Amino acid sequence: MPISFRMLLLMFSLFTLIACNKPLKQVDLPASIRLGDRYYTQFVIRYEKNRHITTNYRRGASVPINTEVVLLEITNTTIRVKQVLSGQELLIQNVEKHTQNSITQAFDKLFGESKVNLSQFSKFERKHINNGTIAKGMTKKAVLASIGYPPQIATPNLDSNQWTYWSSKFNRFVVYFENGKMVRIQD
Residues sharing a CB contact under 8 Å with residue 166, sequence separation 6 or more, in sequence order = 55, 56, 57, 58, 150, 151, 154, 172
Residue 108 sits in the same domain as residue 30: yes
Q: Look at residue 29 in the predicted model and tell me its pLDDT.
A: 83
Q: Pick from 112, 135, 167: which residue ends a domain?
A: 112
Residue 147 lies in a domain: yes
Other beta carbons within 10 angstroms of residue 66's beta carbon come to: 19
Residue 106 sits in the same domain as residue 56: yes
Residue 65 sits in the same domain as residue 90: yes
Residue 140 sits in the same domain as residue 103: no
Give yes or no for a contact between 177 and 137, defined as CB atoms under 8 angstroms apart.
no
* Cα-based angle 88, 92, 94 (whole degrees, multiple of 5): 180
Reported as a single tens digit per residue, the pLDDT across 105-152 is: 999 999 999 999 999 999 999 999 999 999 999 999 999 999 999 999
Q: Is the pLDDT of residue 19 over 60?
A: no
The CATH number assigned to the domain holding 133 equals: 3.30.1450
Q: Look at residue 12 in the predicted model and tell me its pLDDT.
A: 55
CA distance 185 to 97: 25
- Concatenating the DSSP letter of every residue in 37-94 gives -EEEESSPEEEBTTEEETT--S-SEEE-TT-EEEEEEE-SSEEEEEETTT--EEEEE-
The residue among 174, 21, 42 whose CA lies nearest residue 105 is: 42
Residue 107 sits in the same domain as residue 169: no
The CATH number assigned to the domain holding 102 equals: 2.30.30.40
pTM attached to this predicted model = 0.86
Total number of domains constituting the chain: 2
Q: Which domain holds residue 57?
A: 23-112
Q: Pick from 64, 95, 112: which residue ends a domain?
A: 112
Mean local confidence (pLDDT), 89-96: 96
CA distance 23 to 64: 27
Residue 126 sits in the same domain as residue 181: yes
Q: Look at residue 14 in the predicted model and tell me its pLDDT.
A: 47
| φ, ψ for residue 98, nearest 5 deg | -95, -40
Residue 156 sits in the same domain as residue 173: yes
